[in-house]
Amino acid sequence: MIKIENVSKAFDDIKAVDRVSVEINEKIVFGLLGTNGAGKSTLLRMAAGVLKPDSGTITVDDKKVYDNPAAKRNIYFVSDTPYFFPNATPEDMEKYLINQYPDFASLKFSRYLKSFSLAYDRKINTYSKGMKRQLALLLGICSGTKYLFCDESFDGLDPVMRQGIKSIFAKEMDERGLTPVIASHNLRELEDICDHVGLLHRGGVLLSKDLDDLKLNIQRVQCVFASEEDEKKLEEKIDMVKEETSGSLRTYTIRGTREDTQKLFGEVNTIFYEILPLSLEEIFISETEVAGYDIKKLIMG
């Protein structure tokens, strides 16, 4: 488990991270969401032991991570701008990382390179941006670490390659308990892979919840009531987050399980009602609007 407790970091007079506390459990995909400048990269670099917090503590499996090689061996950090040695090939990077990470899986690395059509002996500086990102992720996956930090690492990957990497994540999580932590400014990028999502804004955590809890406890319902009395009767009982009207059609976003929602609507007379699926973006919009924020302005994905 990664524990980040009351952590702050400033660069001169700019507060990049402001009293952040969050826990990242093992064997889940944790999505760290926020606009550029929200503090995602700084927080990841502190969690990886690259930067030292000004205050607060960060522990990885109960070990303080900064200036601690033993803790860092459990972490691989994939930067938003992957670095490779000048004129290096994937083979050169593999040889270097084997010395840093004793559990580096060479056979697996070779197999993944072939799957992604990346030449083992080709100079990396001849790769495209997307190919470099693929290689950086594959090196991280094959490092054998327990935690893999990805900072905007899916940016520049086409949909097929992105899905391929996500499939590998799922396989590695199942086989050896990999815990990926993915920072992104694009909410849609995280929706189909993350188990838990944290939203950073202006250096602080605005929201941190399990995706299943978010999806199970908020519903969107479209309905047409048989009468105004039925409409009023229902609205007195529901925990309403948002309501929209288009003629006689009402669209409610309400808190509660699907079963509770069905029961409430079954107690009033409607011409029809339908419970509609909510996207992660719609859930976040609802949650953050209640907190006084407009996520549409915060997240420009």
- Using pLDDT thresholds of 50, 70 and 90, give the confidence band for residue 236: very high
Q: What's the pTM value of the predicted model, to 2 decimals?
A: 0.81
Q: What is the pLDDT of residue 301?
A: 46
The mean predicted confidence, pLDDT, of the chain is 88
Q: Do 222 and 250 touch, CB atoms closer than 8 A?
A: yes
- Burial profile 209-238: b = 16 or more Cβ within 10 angstroms, e = fewer: bebeebbebbbbbebebeeeebbeebeeeb
**Distances in whole angstroms, Cα of residue 184 to Cα of each of 153, 180, 187, 246, 262:** 8, 13, 7, 35, 35
What domains are defined for the chain?
A: 2-210 (3.40.50.300), 217-298 (3.30.70)
Mean pLDDT over residues 149-170, rounded?
86
Q: What is the pLDDT of residue 50?
A: 93
Q: What is the pLDDT of residue 296?
A: 59
Q: In this predicted model, what pLDDT tens digit does every residue of 93-118 receive, in sequence order?
A: 999 999 999 999 999 999 999 999 99
